[in-house]
């Protein structure tokens, strides 16, 4: 046996040992994300890109599919076209949402790794919420996992997604009232991680973070600026380098 063949065999053996270890470690650290990635191997029913429990009423599934279509068209209108093709997981029960989505009180969320997975709770059956989550998936599709995870601050990612979220509570009028005519805005640009943005402060403070991020991105946004930001980020530049432009 040649030395080269021995090296190949040892390398393959290392991979065979390392893959299940890495998979188990990923499940321990990110159980909801792992289950979502492996959704094809679950006992959930599938209809197109939507997975759901057999106990979910058919009229509710039909409603979600319709909202997915309308929300996708809204996102396509904002971006010029929609390039993402996320997997949707509807969780009828709170236990299912804790299993695939989040143990925290959010109506929906998007996992991004090896694709995008939008997990919807029973409170997340809403056009604006679904459009918000598809916006996350679209941004991820255009910049990739590394850039999305390590270059984009949470406040910008959420503020961008909020451009397709028309809920009245997060409107400019509400922000004007809540912030004393924009005088008491939180410094969202320092909230770079998801934990800082979504997990620190009261529920009202977190809602104010979303309103303010939406306001900041709205005042900055033009399609040309967004296209250039994505181009620069993908070329290797940092967010701070390109956002200031």
pLDDT beyond 90 at 5: no
For residues 146-169, average pLDDT? 96
- pLDDT tens-digit profile of 173-185? 999 999 999 999 9
Mind listing the domains of the chain with CATH numbers? 38-150 (3.40.30), 151-245 (no CATH)
Phi/psi class of residue 160: alpha, beta or left (left: φ > 0; alpha: ψ in -120 to 50)?
Answer: alpha
What is the value of pTM for the model shown?
0.89
For residues 108-124, average pLDDT? 94
How far, in Å, are 117, 174, 245 from residue 160 at the CA level? 18, 18, 17
> Around 58, how many Cα atoms within 13 Å sit in the side-chain half-sphere?
0
pLDDT beyond 80 at 10: no
| pLDDT averaged over every residue in the chain | 89
Q: What percent of the chain has pLDDT over 70?
A: 87
């Amino acid at each position: 046996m040649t030395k080269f063949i021995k090296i190949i065999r040892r390398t393959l053996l290392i991979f065979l040992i390392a893959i299940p270890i890495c998979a188990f470690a990923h499940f321990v650290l990110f159980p909801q994300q792992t289950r979502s990635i492996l959704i094809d191997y679950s006992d959930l029913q599938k209809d197109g890109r939507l997975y759901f429990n057999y106990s979910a009423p058919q009229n509710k599934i039909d409603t979600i599919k319709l909202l997915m279509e309308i929300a996708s068209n809204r996102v396509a209108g904002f971006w010029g076209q929609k390039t993402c093709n996320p997997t949707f997981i509807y969780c009828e029960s709170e236990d299912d949402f804790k299993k695939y989505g989040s143990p925290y009180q959010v109506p929906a969320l998007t996992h991004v790794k090896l694709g995008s997975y939008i997990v919807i709770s029973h409170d997340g059956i809403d056009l604006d919420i679904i459009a918000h989550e598809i916006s996350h998936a679209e941004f991820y599709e255009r910049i990739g996992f590394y850039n999305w995870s390590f270059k984009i601050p949470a406040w910008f990612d959420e503020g961008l997604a909020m451009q397709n979220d028309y809920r009245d509570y997060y409107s400019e009028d509400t922000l004007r009232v809540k912030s004393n005519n924009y005088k008491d805005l939180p410094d969202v640009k320092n909230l770079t991680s998801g934990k800082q943005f979504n997990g620190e402060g009261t529920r009202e403070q977190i809602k104010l973070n979303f309103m303010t991020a939406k306001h900041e991105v709205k005042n900055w946004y033009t399609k040309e600026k967004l296209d250039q930001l994505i181009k620069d980020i993908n070329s290797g530049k940092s967010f701070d380098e390109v956002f200031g432009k």
